[in-house]
Structure 1
Amino acid sequence: MDEETNQIRTSTLFKRLFKTSNLEQFMKKNTGQMQLQSFSKYITELCKNQGQVPERIIKRANIERSFGHQIFKGTRKPSRDTVLQLAFGFDADVDTAQDLLKHAGMSALYPRVRRDAAIIYCLHNRFTIVETQSVLNELELPLIGGGSRVK
């Protein structure tokens, strides 16, 4: 396998990193392995792979239409919550949601954080964004996208 053009497994990269005695040399040798595809390119390809159109993903994500299209074009950067909304728009499982967050440069969902745990549960059980907002509201946790909880 030509490692300059093909991606290696992350676990292999970890092993190399832990074994190296020279970080600078490691960085130079593995530069091509340490770059993620842009978020807009990633979601566009994910959309295509699912046989979907951005308009449908944006609508299911409950994101304002023009803002959603700007994210797909790469002219606007999403917040972590917007990435999570897109995960629901893509009907993503937990792993895909984590990949979306990674490609957006955001922190992963972490089950020790109550809100993240609730979102993980909802993704795992294939809840819609509306169903997820209801769960968050019932648990008195901040809604995705910053909307206020129903009193």
Structure 2
Amino acid sequence: MTNDISTSILFQRLKEAGSFEQYQQENRISPFSSPFHIYLSDLCAAKSMIPERVIKMALIDRTYGHQLFNGTRKPSRDKAIQLAFGLGLDIDGAQKLLERAQKSKLYPKIKRDAAILYCLYHKINLIEVQDMLSELGLTVLGGY
């Protein structure tokens, strides 16, 4: 798959391709095998957690949370991060969850993202994460 190929090489191949279909076929570009909500449910099952518990731990409104789990809503980047905390994921798990949600990964050069990465690494609970972000003058997860 393309994970072993550098981005610069992929850009070059994209520029040189006669069509997108050709590029996609030659580089085995394919969509994820399952939608986000299926991936989320599978993660939940793998961790022996029920969606209700994950939603509560993620500090997400119950109705909205169930819509994320049944696929009627797609998460914002912040909601995906909250779900990562609710699931107790590590940094790699959170980055993969963001990728599956088709959201940008956490980037340590951005102060807010760095704070979130720190909290993921140190397994800090979401309430403390929100407090930390607020104390740093940064936007809390799900906030404005």
TM-score, length basis structure 1:
0.82
2:125 pairs, out of 121, 124, 128, with 128
Residue 61 of structure 1 contacts residue 129 of structure 1 at CA under 8 Å; is this kept in 2?
yes
Aligned residue among 4, 10, 16 for 1:11: 4
- What is the CA deviation profile of residues 79-136 of structure 1, one whole-angstrom value per residue up to 9, with x for unaligned ones? 1111111010001111111111111111111111110000000001001100101111
Q: Runs of 5+ in structure 1 lacking a partner?
A: 1-7
1:40-88 C-alpha deviation (Å, 9 max, x unpaired): 1110111111111111100100101111010010001111111111010
Residues 1:34 and 2:36 are matched in the alignment = no
Q: Over aligned residues, Cα RMSD in angstroms? A: 2.1
Which of 56, 60, 63 does residue 57 from structure 2 map onto?
Answer: 60
Does the CA contact (< 8 Å) of 1:17 and 1:26 recur in 2? no
* 1:84-99 to 2 correspondences below 5 Å: 84-99=81-96
Between 33-42 and 74-83, report the one with greater CA deviation: 33-42
Quote the Cα distance in structure 2 between the aligned partners of 1:80 and 1:17.
26
Q: Secondary structure at the match of 1:105?
A: coil
How many pairs were matched up?
A: 139
TM-score, normalised via structure 2 length:
0.86
CA positional deviation for 1:9 = 6.3
Residue 61 of structure 2 aligns with an amino acid whose one-letter code is: E
Aligned-partner Cα distance in 2 for 1:48–1:119? 25
Which is worse superposed, 15-24 or 120-129?
A: 15-24
CA deviation string 1:27-50 (max 9, x = no partner): 12445x421231111101111111
**Identity percentage of aligned residues:** 43
Matched position secondary structure for 2:73: coil
Structure 2 unaligned regions, length at least 5: none
Tell me, yes or no, if structure 1 residue 74 matches structure 2 residue 71: yes
Q: How far apart in 2 are the matches of 1:106 and 1:56?
A: 23
Q: Distance in 2 between matches of 1:81 and 1:111?
A: 16
